[in-house]
Each structure stands twice: as structure tokens, then as C-alpha cells.
Amino acid sequence: MPVVGQTVCVTGAGGFIASWLVKLLLEKGYTVKGTVRNP
């Protein structure tokens, strides 16, 4: 099933584990929207 055009939201995208998840999703063709905490 093609994932081109599918959008995924990743919360805590600035964290260590989530950043790897974002990278993996982008490599697979997903559009990623991430949320980060204001420092």
C-alpha cells in the first residue's frame, strides 16, 4: 500500500526516540508533522 500523501503527527518530535521515528517515516514517504515543547 503506497503511503505517499499520508500525514502522521509525532508528538515530542524533538526527543531522541521520536527523532528516529520521524526520520524513518520520512524515508518511507510519509509527510510528518511534529510537535515540540517550548523550552
pLDDT per residue as tens digits for the range 2-39: 677 799 999 999 899 999 999 999 999 999 999 998 87
pLDDT for position 10: 96
pTM for this entry: 0.79
CA distance 5 to 19: 20
Q: Which helix (H) or strand (E) holds 18?
A: helix 16-27
Q: How many domains does one find in the chain?
A: 1
- What domain range includes position 1? 1-39
Query: Taking the chain, what is the end-to-end CA distance rounded to the nearest angstrom?
Result: 38
